[in-house]
Amino acid sequence: SAGTSLAALQRMDVRSSLSYLYWLFCQFELITCSYLMEPWEKLLFYSFNLALLGLLLYTTYVCVALQASSAFQLLCSLLANPQDSALAVVK
């Protein structure tokens, strides 16, 4: 299906990625039936989706940041005092 979408883009004569993004948005509209909704329903649906997406991104950021910072701290301590920290870990 990657091949067909590529050929589709070539045939649509897409020059900028903006058209491609618009086409992706149209696909999203068709798949989730938001193409058929009235304007206020669309507003409700999109705001719900954006809120969910924002929450997901924030949770990912916090989770990843926490893990990354703790991993970084462990690495620093390992490099600074190899024997002490190794013994500390073993104990």
Partner 1 sequence: MRTGEERKWEILGVVSSNCSVKGPKNGISNGTLYKKTFIEHFEQAPMYVAVFTFVGFAVGTIFGYLRDFMRAWGLEKRNIAAEREQQKDFVPLYQDFENFYTRNLYLRIRDNWNRPICSVPGPQFDLMERVTDDYNWTFRFTGRTIRNVINMGSYNYLGFAETDVNALKTVTIELKKYGTGVCSTRQEMGTLDKHVELEKLVAKFLGVEDAMVFGMGFATNSMNIPALVGKGCLILSDELNHTSLVLGARLSGATIRIFKHNNMQSLEKLLRDAIIHGQPRTHRAWRKIIILVEGIYSMEGSIVRLPEIVSLKNKYKAYLYLDEAHSIGAVGATGRGVVEYFGMSPDDVDVLMGTFTKSFGAAGGYIAGKKGLVDFLRTHSHSAVYATSMCPAVAEQIIRAMKCLMGLDGTTQGLQRVRQLEKNTRYFRRKLHEMGFIIYGNDDSPVVPLLLYMPGKIGAFARRMLEKNIGVVVVGFPATPITESRARFCVSAAHTREMLDTVLNALDELGDFLHLKYSRYSKSSHPELYEESRLELED
Task: Point out which residues bind partner 1 (CB under 8 A).
Answer: 1, 3-8, 11-12, 23, 26-27, 29-38, 41, 45
Pair of tokens at residue 8: 């589709």
Least gap, CB of 21 to partner 1 (angstroms): 14
What minimum distance in Å lies between the beta carbon of 43 and partner 1? 12
Of 7 and 57, the one with the shorter C-beta distance to partner 1 is 7
CB of 9 to partner 1, least distance (A): 9
Instruction: Yes or no: say if 34 and 42 are a contact pair by the CB < 8 Å rule.
Output: yes
Identify which of residues 30 and 65 has a Cβ nearer to partner 1 in the complex: 30
Residue 55 backbone dihedrals phi, psi, to 5 degrees: -60, -40
**CA separation, residue 81 to residues 20, 42, 53, 71, 89 (Å):** 52, 58, 42, 16, 12
